[in-house]
Amino acid sequence: MKLSGNTILITGGSAGIGLAFAKKFLELDNEVIITGRDQAKLDAAVKEHPKLKTLRSDAGDPKAIAALAREIEQKYPKLNVLFNNAGIMVYRNLGVTDDLGALTSEIEINLSGPVRMVSALVEQMKRTKGTIINVSSGLAFVPFQAAPIYCATKAAIHSYTISLRQQLADHGVEVIELMPPAVKTDLAFIPEDSGAKVITTDVLVAATLKGLGKGKLEIRPGQANQLRFMARWAPGFIQGQLAKGSKSLIPGDAR
């Protein structure tokens, strides 16, 4: 993927990882459009970075995604990078009864959202010979027991992205997977004794741009690469370490 001269859509771009990438892509002379559910956060992002373009949209709502795709087609026909970043992480206790609707909220946003977004924009991406970047996680390889559904969505996105890459290869569409380790954002609190090495968004962005520049299709910065290695060669050990480190985060009595 070339790093400048693109028209880039970043879902969930009003804060955290998404906003960090939006800022850097602006610096590299790209046109950047960000989406989010909170108009106030979108307005704040534009106030700080006036060149940003914003579109209010909900990554978990199929009707909102369809409307977004129509607007993108009309306003930004040169769109050639789709950065599927929107996501939520919820600590859950699977040993208690939960709201059956809220139980799958992470699936709607983290998994169904990118799948629908790709389908809604795939014809445009094929026309522009574009790039799709799906953000999964190092936890796609090893689950963090306090966030069981989040980790399941990221494992699913990892599998989906491989198939997507294979299916779109003949259409000239590049498909990249970014698998961040624990990153210091408002997504979720991660305690110091969890065993996770938390990095900043600046470190993540720098490592990702380095990987993009080298043409990598699966970018695993920092501890994400270690999780992949350990999941393959010492799965019992790494699963036990993460389970121990995250147990205190499970709401209520997890026994």
Going residue by residue through the chain, which has 255 residues, state the pLDDT in tens, using 9 for 90 and above: 999 999 999 999 999 999 999 999 999 999 999 999 999 999 999 999 999 999 999 999 999 999 999 999 999 999 999 999 999 999 999 999 888 889 999 999 999 999 999 999 999 999 999 999 999 999 999 999 999 999 999 999 999 999 999 999 999 999 999 999 988 876 555 655 555 678 899 999 999 999 999 999 999 998 899 999 999 999 999 899 988 888 888 998 544
| DSSP-based three-state secondary structure for 202 | helix
- Convert 126-137 to b/e letters by CB count within 10 Å (16 or more is b): eebebbbbbbbb
Alpha-carbon distances of 88 from 12, 102, 131, 184, rounded to whole Å: 10, 12, 23, 14
Cα dihedral sign for 147, 150, 152, 154?
negative
| 3-class SS string, 79-92 | CCEEEECCCCCCCC
Give the span between the Cα atoms of 135 and 116, in whole angstroms.
15
Does 254 map to a domain?
Answer: no
35, 83 in Cβ contact below 8 A? Answer: no
Does 38 map to a domain?
Answer: yes
Does 2 map to a domain?
Answer: no
Does 1 map to a domain?
Answer: no
Does 33 map to a domain?
Answer: yes
Q: Which structural domain range is residue 80 located in?
A: 7-249
Give the span between the Cα atoms of 151 and 143, in whole angstroms.
6
Structurally, how many domains does the chain consist of? 1
* pLDDT at residue 198 in the model: 84
Does 117 map to a domain?
Answer: yes
Does 13 map to a domain?
Answer: yes
Query: What does 115-140 look like in DSSP terms, one character per residue?
Result: HHHHHHHHHHHHHTT-EEEEE--GGG
Give the span between the Cα atoms of 177 and 158, in whole angstroms.
7
From 76, 91, 150, 160, active-site residue: 150
Does 68 map to a domain?
Answer: yes
Say how far residue 70 (Cα) sits from the centre of its chain: 22
147, 139 in Cβ contact below 8 A? Answer: yes
Q: pTM of this prediction?
A: 0.93
34, 79 in Cβ contact below 8 A? Answer: no
Structure tokens at 224: 């994400």
**CATH no. for residue 220?**
3.40.50.720
160 is catalytic: no
